[in-house]
Structure formats: structure tokens, C-alpha cells
Amino acid sequence: MLRRYAQTQESSMMSPMDGHALTICLGQAELAALDRSIRDTMPTLTREQALSRIVSAWAEAQPEAGRPETDEGMRPNELNASNDI
């Protein structure tokens, strides 16, 4: 799973200055999986860079994650003379 996310994001990543710093704690199994993914698919990246790519790829794969809500206005059945501008 980590490999798939890592491979989908090669060039469209934010630079570290565009985002926010975040501290996380990973268990031994997760850290070992991250290190294997880095070794196998992105050996030039740091753990921080690899995690950033993995999270970005995951977020892009979510249908509505990270997208601002669209204001579609009022529904036709909500319109009446009191809210007519």
C-alpha cells in the first residue's frame, strides 16, 4: 500500500515551506514498513519527505478530501419573498 502511494506522487508535491509541520509517533511495524517503502521505491527521500508524499497521494485519492465546500445557494423550495434580494 505504501508503495502504491509513493509511486503516484513524483512531481506534484508541495515544497516543505508550503505546508505545516506535524509530529507523529509510529509504532515499530509502521516505521519498518515506511523504511522498506523508502528503500524499495524512493531511496533518495527522507522519512519526512516520504510520509509527505504518501499522505498527499492518499488525500488526492479521496473523492472530496481537502476540497472546499461548494456553496450552491438555496434550494428552490427554500426560496420565498422573505429571502429574495
Q: What is the pLDDT of residues 36-74, one digit of tens each?
A: 999 999 999 999 999 999 998 988 888 776 666 777 788
Sign of the CA dihedral running 43, 47, 49, 50:
positive
SS3 71: coil
User: pTM to 2 decimals?
Assistant: 0.55
Say what the pLDDT of residue 8 is.
Answer: 42
For cell 522498506, name the residue.
36
Residue 3 has pLDDT above 70, yes or no: no
Cell numbers 508535491 label which residue? Answer: 13
Domain ranges of the chain: 1-7+21-66
Distance CA(76)–CA(58), nearest Å, equals 36
Residues composing the chain = 85
- What per-residue confidence (pLDDT) applies to 7? 44
Percentage of the chain beyond pLDDT 90 is 38
Question: What is the pLDDT, as a whole number, of residue 17?
Answer: 52
Side chain identity at residue 44, one-letter code: T
